[in-house]
Chains A and B, each alone.
Chain A
Amino acid sequence: MATDGKGGKDRDFQVVGTPRPRIDGVAKVTGQTRFADDLILPRMLWCKLLRSPHPHARIVRIDTSRAAALPGVHAVVTGGDFPIPFGVLPVSQDEHALCPDVVRFIGDPVAAVAARDEDIAAEACRLIDVTYEPLTTIGSVDDAATTPAPQLHDYADSGNLHKQVNLEFGDLEGGFAAADLIREDLFFYEGNTHLPMEQHAAVAEFSAAGKVTVWSSTQCPHYVHRALAKVLELPPSRIRVIATPNGGGFGGKSDPFNHEIVVAKLAMMTGRPVKICLTREEVFYCHRGRHPVLMKIRTGVTKEGAITAMDFESYLDGGAYGSYGVASTYYTGALQTVTYDIPSYRFKGARAFTNKPPCGPKRGHGTPQPRFALEVQLDKIAEELKLDPAEMRLRYLVKPNTITANWLRIGTIGLGECIEKVVAGSRWKERYGKLPYGRGIGLACSSYITGAGVAIYWNEMPHSGVQIKCDRGGGVTVFCGSTEIGQGSDTVLALIVAEILGIEPADIAVVTADTDLTPVDLGSYSSRVTLMTGQAAIQAAERARAQIADAVAAKLNASPERIVFAKGRVFDVENPEPGLSFAEAVVVAESRFGTIGSVGSYAPPRPAGKYRGAGVGPSAAYSYSAAVAEVEVDPETGIVRVPTIWIAHDIGRSINPALVMGQVEGSVYMGLGEALMEEMVYRENRNVVHKFPSMLEYKSPTTWEMPDVITYLVEGPDANGPFGAKEAGQGPLLPIMPAVANAIYDAVGVRVDEVPMSPPKVYKALQAKAKGAEPRFGPTSTPHITWPEPVCVRTPAEGGDGKATPRSTAVPTA
């Protein structure tokens, strides 16, 4: 028996909690799943984009006449055809489908062709003559700080600093004054990219009746729908967006993209379907991946094991456009407080515009970088205080059902149990600090949101909607705007509805991610889908169940509360035998009430914080993870090998443990890639050419690098989760990078305060140690920028109300 996580009565689960195959598993192993590039429509044309060879330049002249004259070419478009800008965030409407006047990175698209085949389209692109006038290139955060003009975008907070944040919670000076030890450390986290196996693709079709349909490998069809309506100046009702199953997303397909808008326009112009599939090189230019972030962290602690204050600065290299960057900036300062109790906290963050492919949300969105800094610094603090790093973290833990200094409402927290699991599994106490030179183990923890608490564009509507149709034959169809990106969201919907209606998942059809057919769900990002669509599905299914129960109760002469749905039957719990099959029950209900259908919807709780910036960080529930990594470091080469990782994840409750395991293992894998090798790097001297936009040169872990993963699922249902469930797709990535860094220190006694911890960095740190210098590789300074006045907020412990205090009482920053 267990609670249903919603405060409801205890009950046994029939479906929830039992490992089951994905409902789309057979299609995926037989090649039947239709990805965007698998779509072939009659009379379809092919689209290619011409991209800028300059990192920053004005378009002086663009002549498409030779391209348009090429036989087989049906249409050529340029920036002039797309005067209206778009962008995923309302505050960053800074992209054009094709650049109208200025290009901002190598790969920025300037023109597009629709032609009879892909080769002709590519040839036509080469026939487009563009004259560029180069502009000063901004290649780094330092460049942006020292070169305010030319501005990449005129809406930046100042010069080429896109966004600057300064938030202060509680009495920071008092906090540091109470500390026995204050540590200040610098860290750098290099950018990296999602590298989904599927290249982005989109197909658009236009009907002469005035409707545009776009199929796309997008994680967020709703945002694509909005961007298309805006740029094409069409009512949303004349646009249908269908997200095809994504061949991997990881955040890289969360923005509305140029190519989606371009193919829609070309379909409207030509009256024929138009398809584009980006090359792998172009996928690197779409990017929206992990921001490179330089960080300074100052933390005060007592000898007894309490944090008294934390001051965190982050400097993000945002690339050429806004994307999700404002949210990313806040996220680098938001979740430090949800794992360990931090009574006073300051966060300063700046995001620079630079002439590189735009950064955006990658798995963990803005939080792996500060988590790396925090967890490595804690390891250094533990060493200084002569405390066991695991033991010290256990003392620091946030209490459940509390509100943090920055006004994040914590529900359940299973982090203590997670730490205990990996400590026991890895035989931490016997092995930490005791392995022979070259071998080591390291520990780190993390937390992640289960869905962003606030929508990307402000509104009072649900974040997720579900519609259910019950067929008189007993089949049930579930409609939801959520997008299957491989994480198993379609399966979650089927399992939850099956649980409530007491039927088999196989009797449920799931229709998702189609703006004509499905109620809005905001998209597959921020680990929101299981919780939000799950809650909406529960509400819809319970409403359908209530209707059917009423009709069946009348037929069986029982009260509706006594009607139970289980094992494909509907019956009176006190007199089970004369029950009905589920199909018969639907017939009884449909005979009485007409067509049986229902809707459900969900919006997360209102955030506790009311200050500007309080919208980033709140969530209905936080997942927690702890990891121990074991490493072998070759001191001759600096090569780090990871044989084993132990990871424990607080999932709240697994709807389907088999899929949770897959998410945890996949997160460990991706975190390991970031820890050891993945980096998005450019040639320097303001030339900012991507060094290696290919899968061969962008190193990612193969089977050879993948360690053994020992996974523990820690369950403790959260009241806000569907049946108690929290997220699994992103959180378990976060502790991997710092766990590896801490293990390297345990192995060879050097600190690599940079991600990735590639062999040259490890080697340089070892050389520094051999020479008697500080045994470290990492950044040594931060750029000089002028910060805005802080927004000061009193903490819950200080009796604050979540609002910023008036400026007159604000303490000036250093």
Chain B
Amino acid sequence: MAVGTDGANKTDWEARQRGSMGNPLVTLTPALPKSPLSLEVNGERIDCLVAPQKTLLEVLREDLQLTGTKHGCELGECGTCTVLVDGVPILSCLELGVACENRSVTTVEGLAAGAELHPLQQAFAELGAAQCGYCTPGILLTAKALLEENRAPTRPQIVSALGGNLCRCTGYVKIYEAVELAAARMRGEAAEPTRESLYGH
């Protein structure tokens, strides 16, 4: 007997098939058996059973209840669902969960060291680089990957790295400034926000 994601059995499936008769537009996918998945999420080993058709986004949000990862389109267009897989930013809405077997996933929940914010988180909160905050997790993770590759990115390099992450609130300005502020602090500099950033010219 094939066991569905929520206990639906083969009889259910057959009934659903029958229900579709006569409508050529309806193509029902049988509920596939769940697949075992082992991966590392935010430094923790996770062993779970997931529906094999679920994206990494769905596995994170629905199976692991890590709802810090957001979605804006679920079609790979907006960058909102970005997480790091083995340190590389990917769109979790386009990656199957089962494709992450034995890989290491970092989400926004894993950015802080315990109760201590990551410098990027600190800078984003300080400057108001998160307004509605919905695109913020994806942008933070993209920026983290950038700073791990490049300790002192120029403004054009930041613009380039974040080119796939849409934000509708900030106009990106405070985001650039926050990435620069965090980068400076991570290099050990005693950087503070500029007066122009907080008060204008």
Bitwise, B158-201 to A at CB < 8 A (1) or not (0) is: 11101111111111111010000000000000000100011111
Instruction: Kindly list chain A residues whose C-beta atoms are within 8 Å of the C-beta of B125.
Output: 21-22, 25-26, 28-29
CB distance from A40 to the nearest CB of B (A): 7
Instruction: Check B73–A695 contact: CB distance below 8 A.
Output: yes
Instruction: Check A197–B130 contact: CB distance below 8 A.
Output: no
CB distance from A686 to the nearest CB of B (A): 25
Instruction: Check A40–B65 contact: CB distance below 8 A.
Output: yes
Whether B133 sits at the interface, judged by CB under 8 Å, is yes
CB distance from B156 to the nearest CB of A (A): 10
Q: A29-B136, A695-B72 are in contact. Are A127 and B163 (CB under 8 A)?
A: no
Chain B residue nearest to A702 in the complex (CB): B163
Instruction: Kindly list chain B residues whose C-beta atoms are within 8 Å of the C-beta of A376.
Output: none
Question: Which of B15, B111, B134, B171 has the most A CB atoms < 10 Å from its CB?
Answer: B171
Whether A462 sits at the interface, judged by CB under 8 Å, is no
Chain A residue nearest to B128 in the complex (CB): A662
A interface, over-half SS: loop
Instruction: Kindly list chain A residues whose C-beta atoms are within 8 Å of the C-beta of B173.
Output: 665, 669, 706, 709
Instruction: Check A665–B174 contact: CB distance below 8 A.
Output: yes
Tell me the bound Cα distance from A196 to B140 in angstroms.
19
Instruction: Check B171–A245 contact: CB distance below 8 A.
Output: no
Tell me the bound Cα distance from A127 to B134 in angstroms.
34
Chain A residue nearest to B21 in the complex (CB): A66
Whether B99 sits at the interface, judged by CB under 8 Å, is no
Tell me the bound Cα distance from A72 to B19 in angstroms.
12
Instruction: Kindly list chain A residues whose C-beta atoms are within 8 Å of the C-beta of B172.
Output: 669, 703, 706
Whether B49 sits at the interface, judged by CB under 8 Å, is no
Instruction: Check B132–A662 contact: CB distance below 8 A.
Output: no
Instruction: Check A72–B12 contact: CB distance below 8 A.
Output: yes
Tell me the bound Cα distance from A126 to B170 in angstroms.
39
Residues of B in contact (CB 8 Å), total: 75
Instruction: Check A31–B128 contact: CB distance below 8 A.
Output: no
Instruction: Kindly list chain B residues whose C-beta atoms are within 8 Å of the C-beta of A71.
Output: 8, 12, 15-16
Whether B55 sits at the interface, judged by CB under 8 Å, is no
Bitwise, A114-132 to B at CB < 8 A (1) or not (0) is: 0011010001001101000
CB distance from B89 to the nearest CB of A (A): 14
Whether B148 sits at the interface, judged by CB under 8 Å, is no
Residues of A in contact (CB 8 Å), total: 75
Whether A199 sits at the interface, judged by CB under 8 Å, is yes
Tell me the bound Cα distance from A546 to B162 in angstroms.
51
Instruction: Check A280–B5 contact: CB distance below 8 A.
Output: no
Instruction: Check B68–A246 contact: CB distance below 8 A.
Output: no
CB distance from A303 to the nearest CB of B (A): 35
Tell me the bound Cα distance from A35 to B137 in angstroms.
13
Chain A residue nearest to B140 in the complex (CB): A29
Tell me the bound Cα distance from A250 to B168 in angstroms.
9
Instruction: Kindly list chain B residues whose C-beta atoms are within 8 Å of the C-beta of A702.
Output: 163-164, 166
Instruction: Kindly list chain B residues whose C-beta atoms are within 8 Å of the C-beta of A22.
Output: 125, 128, 130
Instruction: Kindly list chain A residues whose C-beta atoms are within 8 Å of the C-beta of B164.
Output: 702
Tell me the bound Cα distance from A15 to B43 in angstroms.
40
Instruction: Check B132–A657 contact: CB distance below 8 A.
Output: no
Extra A-B contacts (7), CB below 8 Å, given A425-B201, A486-B134, A665-B171: A31-B66, A247-B133, A486-B132, A486-B133, A661-B174, A695-B72, A713-B200
A residues whose Cβ falls under 8 Å from a Cβ of B: 19, 21-22, 24-35, 37-38, 40, 66, 69-72, 116-117, 119, 123, 126-127, 129, 194-199, 245-250, 279-280, 425, 485-488, 654, 657-659, 661-662, 664-670, 694-696, 700, 702-704, 706, 709-713
Would you list the 5 A-B pairs with minimal beta carbon distance, nearest first? A31-B68, A486-B132, A669-B171, A28-B133, A247-B134
